[in-house]
Chain A
Amino acid sequence: MLNFLGRRILYTIPVVLIASFLLFVFVRATFDPTAKLRSGRADSAAVAREQERLGLDKPVVVQYTNWLGDFVRGDWGQSERTREDVFDMIRRSLWYTVQLIFWGILLSATIAIAVGVYSAVKQYSPLDYTFTGMSFVGLALPPFWFGLIAIELLAVQPVKWFDLQQPIFSFVGLHSGDSTGFNLDYLRHLALPVLTLTVQIIAGWSRFQRASMLDVLQSDYIRTARAKGVPRRQVIVKHGLRNALIPLVTVMALDIGVLFGGVIITETIFSIPGMGRLFYDSLLAGDATVLVAWTVVTAVFIVTFNLLADVLYGVLDPRVRLS
């Protein structure tokens, strides 16, 4: 197992490095850190000085290695937009995003497994058709539109309909005022953003889990379990679900990338100061320093999640352990 993990890590390190190099080059090519300077003073000497200060006059590879050296030591530069330390910015933002993603995965996995198992066991029942229909709609809904509509129909309008003091669901940030910690206020703030983030994922995972479960329930070992006299419920969970979860783990790991992309939309709509919001603001401002650090950090996260999923996969499926 460790062997397997070791090999995977060894493989992903070059991938991350190459990707970071490409991103570095690309972002630098897209956004000129001296652009502000140029549009402002247009004094070529000042521009040249700034270029030298930022090391832009050196060859790309050298720039990259310098950057990489700084990066692994924790020096991620200063944001061109806010002049803040990028490391701090990202650390702060990550905290918010991690919360969203955590709750998102929890919610999605729970619903997907429940719906998937039910739909497979009671295939073609009215509820199964309903779930399938909902999944189709969920997959066709642009998440950003869902977010807007959710705010409109679940937060804003009910105040008018039911003559409420304040909206049931809050849609700005994750906490009201000074409130902190895990409380009802927090949940009311979480609800809509997490839902927006996960609506497509829930739809997708549910369908996938249903398919996976159906597949597994056709297996011969299910027949054996029944022939042994194992009660139905136990067959479904201990034998069926146990094996049907395995492919889902892979899908879940892969959708981490989707989640990190999804927060860009969600945090923007719900004014949550997370990584997604950071990306949005930085891209609009052309803040190359932040963008490079952002993409590398995100990549590392995604890669780590994938590795974790590999481990989980190995835990669930004994057949891959001995490679």
Chain B
Amino acid sequence: MSTADARGAGEPLLSVEQLSVTFPTDDGLLHAVDDVSFRVMPSETLGIVGESGSGKTVTSMAVLGLLPGRARVSGRVMFEGRDLRALPEKDLEKIRGDRIAMVFQDALASLNPAHKVGDQIAEAVTVHRKIGKSDLEARVLELLDLVGIPNPTDRAEQYPHEYSGGMRQRAMIAMAIANDPDLLIADEPTTALDVTIQAQVLDVLERIQERTRSAIVLITHDLGVVAGVADRVMVMYAGQQVELASVDDLFYESRHPYTAGLLASLPRLDRRADKSDRLHRISGQPPSMVFRPSGCSFHPRCPDARLGGACTQSVPELREVRPGHRAACHFAEEIFQ
């Protein structure tokens, strides 16, 4: 493993090492996550980008040990000097919601419809420490206020279905930061929202981070979201990492055909287009996670693939192609020079 990545040295907060997750299915073994390794430094924001099925959610669930029983997991997840994967459930429960917290998409489904919002936020606190009733109430109101929910006293007594979509998402964030976690994992927090609300929610996340100095892992399929918020970005495809770099490097100096394809397919309002210009797309479909292509998973769709050569024969390693910038492509240097 190479030493410090783009941002300065120091102890990583979270270190995922060679994480793999497979699920047995009727048709065979499904490789959801394949040999993924990355670090999260304190107070940084790491974006994990990929389309549906790329393994990004499964990766985050694996960190917290929230995968269903039939998942087979290997690798290490080092946090505060301990391998989370090796911890008994009781110890994991202490860490979840306290040191590492998670925010899910679709807050309507992710909040218990039968409990008041205030109670659910309070639960996040009381599960981890003893606290007096009035202190608890004050804390809940404080959190609601922090995430920008108006009338917190009234809102705390309401149920999730009485909130709007954006407010629900913010309530989820409030719940997640209740104990000032060191690491906040946000899984597609903006996907179910429309653009203006998205901006508000991202804003909240940023403000929180300024206040609490927690690290954030932001999972999304939307490059635009990542561009504004992340310090470093990891791109995933078909369960594997294909690129890992600082946000600027990724956007301006991408070294993987998939990333390049993603960037190229973003509609650009700041460039003139001819009538004959068409929206760029990456041809083909993501591969089956059970029957994967030989060699590089992306080769069937890669415009630069050297068929018959390394691309079809060996899986490219995630290697450093520029200082602090890694990509998993056999021909990264050639293609982008």
Contacts and interface: CB of A to CB of B under 8 A. Distances in A.
Q: Do chains A and B touch in the complex (CB under 8 A)?
A: yes
B109 A220 contact: yes
Contacts of B106: 220
Nearest to A226: B66
Nearest to B96: A229
A190 to B, nearest CB: 34
A200 B122 CA distance: 42
A261 to B, nearest CB: 32
Interface residues of B, number: 30
Nearest to B178: A228
Contacts of A316: 114
For chain A, which range describes its interface: under 10, 10 to 19, 20 to 34, or 35 or more residues?
20 to 34
B128 interface: yes
Interface in B49-107: 64, 66, 89-90, 93-98, 101-102, 104, 106
Given A221-B110, A221-B112, A317-B114, A229 B102 contact: no
Given A220-B106, A319-B159, A243 B96 contact: no
A227 interface: yes
Interface string B36-51: 0000000000000000
A235 to B, nearest CB: 10
B111 A221 contact: yes
A239 interface: yes
A224 B104 contact: yes
Contact of B96 (A226, A246, A319): A226
A281 B96 CA distance: 65
Contacts of A225: 112, 123
Nearest to A222: B112
B266 interface: no
Contacts of B301: none
A318 interface: yes
Given A229-B93, A229-B128, A318 B104 contact: no
A229 B97 contact: yes
A317 B160 CA distance: 12
A125 to B, nearest CB: 12
A317 B101 contact: no
Contacts of A53: none
B175 A223 contact: no
Contacts of A319: 113, 159, 161
B217 to A, nearest CB: 13
Contacts of A226: 66, 96
Given A226-B96, A228-B96, A230-B93, A239 B110 contact: no
Interface centre among B101, B106, B111, B115 (most CB of A within 10 A): B115
7 contacts: A227-B104, A228-B101, A229-B128, A232-B89, A232-B93, A234-B127, A243-B114
